[in-house]
Structure 1
Amino acid sequence: MTDVVEILQRSGGSATFAQLRGFASGRTIRRALAEGRIKRVAKGVYALPVDASPLTVARAHGGVLSHESAAQQLGLDVVTIPLKPHVTIGRTKRRRTTRLPCTLHWSDAPELDGATTPVRTVLDCAQNLPFGEALAVADSALRNGLVSAEELLAAAIAGRRPGRARAIKLIEASDARAASALESMLRARVLAAGFGGFVPQYVIADGEFFARVDLADPKLRLVLEADSFAYHASRDALRRDCRRYVNLAMRGWTLLRFSWEDVVLDPDWVAVAVTSVVRGGPARRQNPLKRAA
């Protein structure tokens, strides 16, 4: 008989009583529970005595991970981690009683290994998340080969739920070439500002120079790059970076660099900066009250 703790570790930190009984006796399970080596998180659901993982929360509620929680489970990019796991329960299923918090959804969602399928996950995010955050999920699903653009578009067109038009628009904008969630968010910002010519991971090269940039519009000769906090690991890296940007300028390209805070927390700044450069003069931020109206 296998140790109960080992069974739970192999099962992602939780399992139902029926699943445990396939490897251990009822007496062994009860002893592990009495010794505090495992804990009951819902009727018939047991877990390791640590903070519950999102997968454990989903099992405790009798559902599966969905939306951005499913995206995380599937290894997809998410811009922000939800405070509580998103869990979807079948319409005809009864919710289990548990104290583990979650954001609950009711739907007959196709599932795979404790989470909604990649196609359903992308569509859920497309219909419920802000455009940029949903685009990051869709881009990474395409990049990782979990779905194809044709599959996503067909599923979005066939959908009958609210948000169908929104999902179709997002799928049409998704691109497997995007290299990161922050880059996807940056592309979403410029799309929202009316600039549709930016190409992800664009290559600029000649006989003496090669660069692959986050986003570039060949007609505007404009490059956009999304920089993380620890971008330069050494003095040499900083020097190479400076030389790269000077080489771009020498070849007639204008470069705009944006931080995580610029892209995620201040979307107006991206639109103002790109618009200013394209028009050749300072652009004003839109009045927040007018924008809200």
Structure 2
Amino acid sequence: MPEVVEIVGRRGGTATFAQLRALVSARAIRTALVGGQIRRVAKGVYALPQAPAALVAARSQGGVVSHLSAAQHWGFGVIDPPLRPHVTIPPDRARRRAGLPCTLHWGDVPALDDVTTPTRTVLDCLRILPMREGLAIADSALRRGVDRDELLAAAERLRGPHRRRIQRTVALADGRAESVLESAFRALLIEAGIDGFVPQVAVRSDGFSARLDLGHLGLRLGLEADSFEHHGTRPALVKDCRRQVNLTLLGWRILRFSWEDIMYDGEWVVDAVRRAVGLPSPTNSVLRAA
């Protein structure tokens, strides 16, 4: 029934029986259900077939989209997408057996249209994620317009587990970071105690202009986090070669690391950067071939 589908659509893709019944007949609801225009996702809760999975799961449990699922909703950078939607329900509420599968959390949380607010989303993610993944979300949240002062104040008001770690990560967040890979790289350096690298350092001279993912101005050392999607074509190769030559002529040393290096071989990455900045290596490592 078009009117039923329209009503559910205006609700973001889900609606309760009571919300529908206030506007259409029970017969119209049953007809839409039998015809496949809507589906039952919990007792008294219906959804369009194409409705966002996280929102459907949240409403089937009587909660709100939260944590990594909320981060995806707000367009924040997520390194590892969740296998199941994350949902937060009130502290005194039990899991609904008839609700859809999800990763449940309990708490009183601020929300907009049944999704935790952007600021709360960042803090929730930082509580459950390691620094690499958490910093990627915090960086991208600032990049997408979350107010830094508001985020810092919210972190300061936090109580509960990992409070100090969350506050430290928020303080380190930087909206200049342009990708989750770059944020993950910076997290590696921070955890290793390697200081002095700044996101998106601009290098300009006589018509040449380039930005380095991470740059140490004092050492003229640049670090690049390269993913194949941005460097996997012939024109990209030509551009990269010329850029590398120009940076070298301007006195910059550039170390380039792949997604696989940063995500799966962080110990080697950190050791390479330590050598480049002149810090002692904690291990007797050797140069490694691909």
The two structures have a TM-score, normalised by structure 1, of: 0.90
Q: Specify the alignment match of 2:128 in structure 1.
A: 128
Deviation at 1:72, TM superposition (A): 0.6
Q: Specify the alignment match of 1:227 in structure 2.
A: 226
Deviation at 1:279, TM superposition (A): 2.2
| Residue identity (%) | 54
Q: Specify the alignment match of 1:291 in structure 2.
A: none
Deviation at 1:79, TM superposition (A): 0.7
Tell me the distance in 2 between the aligned counterparts of 1:233 and 1:21. 55
Q: Specify the alignment match of 2:205 in structure 1.
A: 206
Q: Specify the alignment match of 1:252 in structure 2.
A: 251
Q: Specify the alignment match of 1:107 in structure 2.
A: 107
Any gaps of 5 or more consecutive residues in structure 1? 287-293
Residues 51 and 153 of structure 1: CA distance in aligned 2, closer, same or farther (over 3 Å)? closer
Deviation at 1:52, TM superposition (A): 6.5
Deviation at 1:50, TM superposition (A): 5.6
Please say if residues 61 and 99 of structure 2, whose CA atoms lie closer than 8 Å, have aligned partners that are also in contact: no
Deviation at 1:66, TM superposition (A): 1.0
Deviations 1:93-142 (A, max 9, x none): 34433252111111111111221111111111111101011111111111
Residues 68 and 162 of structure 1: CA distance in aligned 2, closer, same or farther (over 3 Å)? same
Tell me the distance in 2 between the aligned counterparts of 1:164 and 1:28. 50
After superposition, residues 61-76 of structure 1 pair within 5 angstroms as 61-76=61-76
Residues 285 and 49 of structure 1: CA distance in aligned 2, closer, same or farther (over 3 Å)? farther
Tell me the distance in 1 between the aligned counterparts of 2:228 and 2:215. 22
Please say if residues 202 and 209 of structure 2, whose CA atoms lie closer than 8 Å, have aligned partners that are also in contact: yes
Please say if residues 55 and 64 of structure 1, whose CA atoms lie closer than 8 Å, have aligned partners that are also in contact: yes
Instruction: Give the letter for the 2:122 counterpart.
Output: V
Please say if residues 79 and 133 of structure 2, whose CA atoms lie closer than 8 Å, have aligned partners that are also in contact: yes
Instruction: Give the letter for the 1:252 counterpart.
Output: G
Give the secondary-structure state (helix, strand or coil) at the position aligned to 1:31.
helix
Q: Specify the alignment match of 1:85 in structure 2.
A: 85
Tell me the distance in 2 between the aligned counterparts of 1:64 and 1:101. 14
Q: Specify the alignment match of 1:215 in structure 2.
A: 214
Q: Specify the alignment match of 1:46 in structure 2.
A: 46
User: Which moved further from structure 2: 88-97 or 181-190?
Assistant: 88-97
Deviations 1:175-209 (A, max 9, x none): 11111111111111111121221111110111242
Q: Specify the alignment match of 1:269 in structure 2.
A: 268
Deviations 1:21-67 (A, max 9, x none): 35433221111112232211101111124687111011111111111
Residues 186 and 22 of structure 1: CA distance in aligned 2, closer, same or farther (over 3 Å)? farther
User: Which moved further from structure 2: 45-54 or 61-70?
Assistant: 45-54
Q: Would you say 1:32 and 2:40 are equivalent positions?
A: no
Residues 196 and 23 of structure 1: CA distance in aligned 2, closer, same or farther (over 3 Å)? farther
Please say if residues 13 and 56 of structure 1, whose CA atoms lie closer than 8 Å, have aligned partners that are also in contact: yes
Please say if residues 68 and 86 of structure 1, whose CA atoms lie closer than 8 Å, have aligned partners that are also in contact: yes
Please say if residues 78 and 181 of structure 1, whose CA atoms lie closer than 8 Å, have aligned partners that are also in contact: yes
Aligned length: 285
Instruction: Give the letter for the 1:17 counterpart.
Output: F
Residues 229 and 10 of structure 1: CA distance in aligned 2, closer, same or farther (over 3 Å)? farther
User: Which moved further from structure 2: 42-51 or 184-193?
Assistant: 42-51
Give the secondary-structure state (helix, strand or coil) at the position aligned to 1:105.
strand
Instruction: Give the letter for the 2:252 counterpart.
Output: W
Give the secondary-structure state (helix, strand or coil) at the position aligned to 1:230.
helix
Instruction: Give the letter for the 1:187 counterpart.
Output: R
After superposition, residues 173-192 of structure 1 pair within 5 angstroms as 173-192=172-191
Deviation at 1:253, TM superposition (A): 1.1
Residues 110 and 32 of structure 1: CA distance in aligned 2, closer, same or farther (over 3 Å)? same
